[in-house]
Amino acid sequence: MTGRRLTLVLAALLLAACAPRTEPESERAQETPGRIIAVAPGVVESLFVLGAGDRVVGVGNYAHWPPEVEGLPRIGGLYDPRFETIAGLEPDLAILVPSEAELSRALEDLGVEVMIVPHESIADVERAISMISGRLGVPERGEQVVAELRRGLTPRRTPLEVRVLLSVARQPGRATEIYAGGEGTFLGELLSRLGASNVTAGAQELYPRLGFEEAVVRAPEVVLELQPDPVDGEAAEGWRTDWRVVAGEDGPCVAIVDGSHVLLPGPRLPVLYRDLEAALEECLGSVPGHRAR
């Protein structure tokens, strides 16, 4: 992944976190939409999981799952929407997230119906799926998807009692600052369900920014480097080297959790949940004193 893409991914997360958490407008009593666009990858994925993929006519630049989206027109991203492309697609519904308020106003000026769905916490994901399925006329399918999501995110029976830092979309070799997943984010919520402790506890920001030395002082036993693109073994060593330089050989266990699902609040959260659990379990053998707890 390029540095620019990583920056955009992180910026999108921060904007979503800072966006007003107001309740979306009531659904309009209109005909069931047949031509839908969405920018946020998590929303795109929800549409396909709900069985509405055949109604999606345009997606954001960073939507890559399921594979069917690769053949769809790209309508830009948070900072560079392609209004000419959008107009040519003649959508009758745009499903957006709170951070896309500017795009929302522009589309409404073009006469496109806009639905804003919440997009930060696990509860937000459930509510968004219910809202979308209701507007599309498939509420029963929405209930099924939400039920599957809840089953896949069942709190771990035996807590993983370990102190964890969730490092979000950091580029290797830049051991200066970190954006961390806080307790109130979907990332922090997943960590809590695994019974692990978040070293950013008490931070006011959803994605607190930490200096590298400050992160070390918080004494994480495990650092999970969360990356939205696949990382090979050789590249992974770059992230681990950064921590060895700052924290020494006795520093935290560093694991890479990577893939297109990693930073997306959406229907693939159970996949991320299992990945986080597997990474923590793998690290626990190297955490001093953990077995004695």
pLDDT at position 223 over 90: yes
Determine the average pLDDT of the residues in 60-70: 96
Give the pairing of strands 36-38 and 93-96.
parallel
Kindly report, residue by residue over 72-86, the tens digit of the pLDDT. 999 998 889 999 999
- Band of pLDDT at residue 158, cut at 50, 70 and 90: very high
Instruction: Count other Cβ atoms within 10 Å, centred on residue 66.
Output: 13
The pLDDT of residue 293 is 43
Domains of the chain listed by start with CATH number: 32-152 (3.40.50.1980), 163-292 (3.40.50.1980)
Share above pLDDT 70 across residues of the chain, in percent, rounded to a whole number: 88
Strands 163-168 and 113-116, sheet pairing: unpaired
DSSP state of 80: -
Looking at the DSSP bridge assignments, the partners of residue 165 are 223
pLDDT of 8 > 60? The answer is no
Q: What is the pLDDT of residue 234?
A: 84
Q: Length of the chain, please?
A: 293
Distance CA 231, CA 217 (A): 27
- pLDDT over threshold 80, residue 288: no
Instruction: Report the pLDDT value the prediction gives residue 285, as an integer from 0 to 100.
Output: 80
Where does 87-152 show beta strands of DSSP type E? Answer: 93-96, 113-116
Question: Which is nearest to 221 in space by CA: 197, 241, 202, 203?
Answer: 197
Whether residue 183 contacts residue 215, with contact meaning beta carbons closer than 8 Å, is answered with: no
DSSP structure class, residue 175: T
| 3-class SS letters over 18-29 | HCCCCCCCCCCC
Q: What is the pLDDT of residue 97?
A: 96
Query: Which run of H or of E encompasses 88?
Result: helix 83-89
Q: How many CA atoms lie within 13 A of 127 on its CB side?
A: 15
What mean pLDDT do residues 111-116 have? 95
Segment 112-134 mean pLDDT:
96
pLDDT digits (tens, 9 = 90+) for 49-61: 999 999 999 999 9
What would the pLDDT profile of 183-213 be if each residue is shown by its tens digit? Answer: 999 999 999 999 999 999 988 899 999 999 8
Q: How far apart are CA 98 and CA 141, in angstroms?
A: 24
* pLDDT given for residue 24 in this prediction: 46
Separation CA 169–CA 22 (nearest Å) = 27
Compute the mean pLDDT over every residue in the chain, rounded to the nearest whole number. 89
* Per-residue confidence (pLDDT) for residue 28, from 0 to 100: 45
Which DSSP helix (H) or strand (E) runs through 13?
Answer: helix 3-18
Report the SS3 class of residue 193.
helix
pLDDT band at 10 (very low <50, low <70, confident <90, very high): low
Q: Residue 131: pLDDT above 90?
A: yes
Judge whether residue 168 has pLDDT over 60. Answer: yes
